Amino acid sequence: MGDVNQLAFAKYYSHIVKSPILEIGSKDYGNTQDFRALFRDVEYLGTDMQSGKGVDMVLDFTEDFELIDEKLEGKRFGTIICMSVLEHCSDPFKMARNIQSLMKDGGVLLVSVPFVWEVHGFPDDYWRFTPKGVRALFPGLDFDVYNGQAWTSKNGEFSDLDDELFRIKFSSKREKSGRQIGYVTALIASVFKKIGVMKSVFGYRYVFPPVMVSMIGKKK
């Protein structure tokens, strides 16, 4: 799966990718990104719960690890790509344990999850995650080696991971450095506040746009 921003994230960190690569959620739905195209010169296995274009093997990563390991014939991976998948998993903790078990020592996981996003199918949608939530899912990985990023739904709009995660405060003051959204919205809100209609129009101190969290974990 994945969107244009996640593809850009993977491309930016392509120099750390190690072979072989396992992509979880590789089915081409017509509007998803082709991560395989970034790594044509390395061994690459695309997996999904459904067969289709881009899928080399049908796998359910919430199965018992022994079954997954048998289907993969004991193979271990230098890189695992898991973009916009974990929110569709009914048991993300079990899936995360299985992912960690499939990684080589020193291998890397490129993972992207929604922090704020509309409910969507493929086929079901269960979860939203904070950066600390991702760390809790993968206790065997070190997420401090490489910098993660937060993305909005706009192409190329990103920031480093922090506690703001693109929060739009209804104030004209721009407190956050780097790339930011919401300045015009904040300015309009400031005008409404001055004329006394802030609460009736907005009713909130802040809002969030659609935000994805992308991180890289290295197996300890």
The tokens for 123 are 């086929």
CB 210 within 8 A of CB 3: no
Considering the entire predicted model, what is its pTM?
0.85
How high is the pLDDT of residue 202?
A: 61
pLDDT in tens, 66-99: 999 999 999 999 999 999 999 999 999 999 999 9
Q: What is the pLDDT of residues 106-135, one digit of tens each?
A: 999 999 999 999 888 777 899 999 999 999
- Bridge partners of residue 112, in order along the sequence: 83, 214
User: Which structure tokens are listed for 48?
Assistant: 């999904």
Domains of the chain, with CATH numbers? 4-153+211-219 (3.40.50.150), 158-207 (no CATH)
Rg, C-alpha atoms of the chain:
19
pLDDT by residue (tens digit) across 151-198?
Answer: 999 999 999 999 899 998 865 454 444 344 445 555 655 665 555 555
Q: What CA dihedral angle connects 12, 15, 18 and 23, to 10 degrees?
A: 20
